Amino acid sequence: MIKITILGNNSALPAYNRHPTSQVVDIEEQLFLVDCGEATQIQMQRYHIRRRRINYIFISHLHGDHYFGLMGLITSMGLMGRTAPLHLFGPPALQQIVDLQLQVATTVLPYPLHFTALEEGKAQILVDEASYKVESFPVEHRIPCHGFSFTHRHLQRRLLPEQCRHYEIPTAFFARLKNGEDYTRKDGLLVKNEWVTTAGTPDKKYVYCADTRTTDSFLPYILKADLLYHESTYLDNDQKKAFDRFHSTARQAAELAQKAGAGRLLLGHFSSKYQDLSLFYEEASQIFPDVEVSTEGITYEI
């Protein structure tokens, strides 16, 4: 299961109790922070996010509403005595920004901070572990910007308990069965794995599209996402403004979700000019019915 907790779903200005962008992706208790707008730490406290469990932070781009909370978080982690390495991914200039702020404050972090630059216009595999993978892909914004895709792999096969009993397989061997191994009994009978297991559940995919104009250019990276988070800074009557400012409307987000064959669509990054967000739902749901307007503090599960 992938769990996504929204910490901030507003665009540049905090408004109506909505905060600049940040969200936490949880895969098997490993927490990934995606963007870190101002107030992210306060939102983490409010929604009981365990900072120690965050080992990876991804910053989509260097507009302040996506990273002005980062220095506070990095230094708080140090003050809390963190020693585990922290992996930070973002545009190349982010390293200079972080280094300068640490340097002028003569702050020495008590933990290793590993920085990986997101290359402009390129897709990269950022994390590749047995049970999960994180990739970045370029989107179309006013400055270089990347979206992120999270895949939870289900490599393990599922046991068929009755068949396992029938072939008298000891429970101590079950973990190896889940990994696809055959079992040889003491009497020499080879029990083939497919006799006693079935395929596991399919991979789960969550995609965060960051700030972007609506475009097909990154469609290959978001195909068949179980859940797609797409910005909808504006409603469609502001389509020209959205285009000029490299943002999208709710209708455009819905059209892209449809093209991508997404399971569900989650809208976010709302302009502070809107107090009532129900129109975002109405507009998008006419095109893509499985849509939700994201709410801060809510955890969405795949």
Report the catalytic residues.
Answer: 65
In whole angstroms, how close is the CB of 35 to Zn ion at the nearest point?
8
In whole angstroms, how close is the CB of 40 to Zn ion at the nearest point?
14
299: tokens are 């955890």
Angstrom distance (rounded) from CA 249 to CA 267: 10
Q: Which is nearer to Zn ion, 26 or 65 (CB)?
A: 65
Q: Which is nearer to Zn ion, 50 or 142 (CB)?
A: 142
Binding site for Zn ion (CB under 5 A): 63, 65, 211
172: tokens are 């101590």
DSSP output for 198-213: E--PPPEEEEE--S--
Q: Where are the beta strands (DSSP E) in 9-74?
A: 22-27, 30-36, 54-58
In whole angstroms, how close is the CB of 225 to Zn ion at the nearest point?
20
Q: Which is nearer to Zn ion, 82 or 230 (CB)?
A: 230
The distance in angstroms from the start CA to the end CA of the chain is 6
211: tokens are 């700030």
Q: Which is nearer to Zn ion, 43 or 197 (CB)?
A: 43
**190: three-class secondary structure by DSSP:** strand
Angstrom distance (rounded) from CA 164 to CA 128: 32
